[in-house]
Structure 1
Amino acid sequence: MTAEHRVSLHLVSDATGETLSSIARATVAQFEHATVAYHRWNLIRSRIHLRRVLEGIADDPGPVLASMMDRKLRGELDAGCARLNVQILNVLDPVLSLLQDNLGETAVGRPGNQYVLDEEYYRRIEAMHYVLAHDDGQATAGLADADVVLVGVSRASKTPTAFYLANRGVKAANVPLIPGIPPPDDLLQVKRPVIGLTIEPATLIEIRRNRLRLIAPRTERAVLDERDNTYVDPDVVRAEVLWARRLCLSHGWPVVDVSRRSIEETAAAVIELSSHWATRHPELQPDGAP
């Protein structure tokens, strides 16, 4: 049996640190026997800030991943890591070098330059407002303004997927599918891509059990006994999931199985299916759609 290995990983950024966090998560996930203690140092834009970072690295030494643009601060960080005998990797350097060679232009080296209040930024804000107003079947009359409509049974990750899509500038509405209640007319008439989210019954039951435990006061736990609650009854849930899949099939709505997908992976699948829909229906694509 392979022993567990622990490492302190310092992520040093002059911006929000999202890029470093994504890189770290993607790479650390490839190691099955590692325990990583993350130390995140964001918005490092002065020598005072950098001094605190180096003190933190000295207290718990470990490799450093950095995304620093300011040349002076980068130099001081490199020198400080050398003194502490810890490895450092500036993760953006290979990409910057590649683009500089191909563009024939030197990078400006300005911290946070990717965060600008441009058209894309305001589109993300507008998408977030839209998701808030059209979550869980609200304001179905506005489905015509959606970039995509998500449907599915309760707790099939419609809401978190919609919010993730909004952060990508995609206006995503979501509508619950409830056995015995016909889908709203606005949904059936919408001229936008409709995508069903489905999930394995066993996984859905566990998610719903956790949900019930969170929302039920201690004094009411007995009322939520699974034997008397159709919300988590295995036979009822299996029938509900099967009914929803058949409903999507009958309307020609593609389905994404979220059972073993992260929200990010589900959103990527939704975007891909939406792109295919847009290719088939260019006449229905709104101006400025992502």
Structure 2
Amino acid sequence: MPHRTINLHLVSDSTGETLNSIARATLARFEDHHVVHHRWSLIRSRLQLDRVLEGLNHEPGPVLFTLVDRSLRLALEENCMRLGVPCLSVLDQVVDLLQGQLGARAREKRAAQHVMDADYFRRIDAMHYVLAHDDGQGTAGIHEADVCLVGVSRSSKTPTCFYLANRGIKAANVPIVPNSALPPELAEAPCPVVGLTIETNALIEIRRHRLRLIGADGVRQDTNDYIDHDSVKAEILAARRLCNQHGWPVIDVTRRSIEETAATVLQLMEAWHARRGSAAAPAPVDPAAVVLGGGAA
């Protein structure tokens, strides 16, 4: 089948995050084809919609939308019908299903998921916490953490913590440095501690890239322990051994995205709370979540 190039228009009266996630998840299954994204966010008036229609007329293509305003929906659907391009409201089927199950009509409220409520401020607080407790900073505050990640340098601890913070999780991270002791607060942490590991060659490549970014081209790459193969391998093994000694589960992040790593951390957190019979513990998780493989979950 020949490769095709299409225009895909994502039209939202909010931030467009929902449409972006749906498009990313579905288009990953069509990697041999080229899709040009046209993102139209915060479309809340007819004047704003007219800009969308102009763009659609100029570069026709299928439309995915999340619009609550009925008049805007109708105008968009009529224009798509005139152009002969498919147009789909991605949330309608889910809303219809839930209305039937709940016996209540959904409110016609745009951006209902983006409100400044307690959950919103919990996420902001978690972001501030991650900033203050990144890379071993503020270890005295580990007792406030919901989870603590440990691992060697450049094993994706920081980006994983920020992703978790966006879910309202206070995540601290502590580097495992050769010949350096871990902070004593970690041994008494009242939260799950999770180790992150990575394959030797992958870590060396990440560290080489890091050195290039910070202008460390003058470093002798054949002797620098930071990227020396034997030294890095020993560092990773020592870190794994340390986690095993403390009974901390370890996730191999080599072939995992940040999202997949964070999802596994959340599952391990659920399991940790379930074992302790926490009143706030979520439902039990799939035992496969604790498998330490590097493959995507």
What TM-score results when the alignment is normalised by the length of structure 2?
A: 0.92
Q: Kindly, what percent of the aligned residue pairs are identical?
A: 58
Distance in 1 of aligned mates of 2:258 and 2:208: 20
- Alignment partner, residue 285 of structure 2: none
Task: Within 5 Å, give how 1:120-135 maps onto structure 2.
Answer: 120-135=119-134
- Alignment partner, residue 80 of structure 1: 79
State the 4+ residue runs in structure 1 displaced beyond 4 angstroms: 283-286
Say whether the 8 Å CA contact 1:192–1:284 is kept in structure 2. no
Change (3 A) 1:3 1:231: farther
Distance in 2 of aligned mates of 1:8 and 1:234: 45
Q: Does residue 257 of structure 1 match 2:252?
A: yes
Q: Does residue 167 of structure 1 match 2:166?
A: yes
How many angstroms does 1:25 deviate by? Answer: 0.3
Candidates 216, 227, 242, aligned match of 1:247: 242
How many angstroms does 1:284 deviate by? Answer: 9.4
Cα deviation, 1:234-289, whole Å, max 9, x if unaligned, reads: 11111111111110001000001111111111000000000100111245969xxx
Unmatched tracts of structure 1, length 5 or more: none
Change (3 A) 1:170 1:75: same
Paired residues, number = 281
Change (3 A) 1:108 1:285: closer
- Alignment partner, residue 108 of structure 2: 109
- Alignment partner, residue 96 of structure 1: 95
Change (3 A) 1:63 1:285: closer
Cα deviation, 1:63-102, whole Å, max 9, x if unaligned, reads: 1111111111101110111122211111001001101111
Distance in 2 of aligned mates of 1:77 and 1:47: 10
How many angstroms does 1:57 deviate by? Answer: 1.2
Distance in 2 of aligned mates of 1:238 and 1:285: 39
Cα deviation, 1:168-198, whole Å, max 9, x if unaligned, reads: 0000000000010011111112121000011
What TM-score results when the alignment is normalised by the length of structure 1?
A: 0.94
- Alignment partner, residue 268 of structure 2: 273
How many angstroms does 1:224 deviate by? Answer: 2.1
Distance in 1 of aligned mates of 2:150 and 2:87: 46
Distance in 2 of aligned mates of 1:115 and 1:100: 21
> Higher mean Cα deviation, 82-91 or 140-149?
82-91
How many angstroms does 1:29 deviate by? Answer: 0.2
Cα deviation, 1:25-60, whole Å, max 9, x if unaligned, reads: 000001131111111000000000100001111121
Cα deviation, 1:199-248, whole Å, max 9, x if unaligned, reads: 111111111111111001xxx52x22311321111111111111111100
From the two aligned structures, give the one with the greater helix fraction.
1
Q: Does residue 192 of structure 1 match 2:191?
A: yes
Say whether the 8 Å CA contact 1:248–1:254 is kept in structure 2. yes
Letter in 1 for 2:267: E
Unmatched tracts of structure 2, length 5 or more: 282-297
RMSD: 1.4
Candidates 219, 232, 235, aligned match of 1:237: 232
> Higher mean Cα deviation, 226-235 or 16-25?
226-235
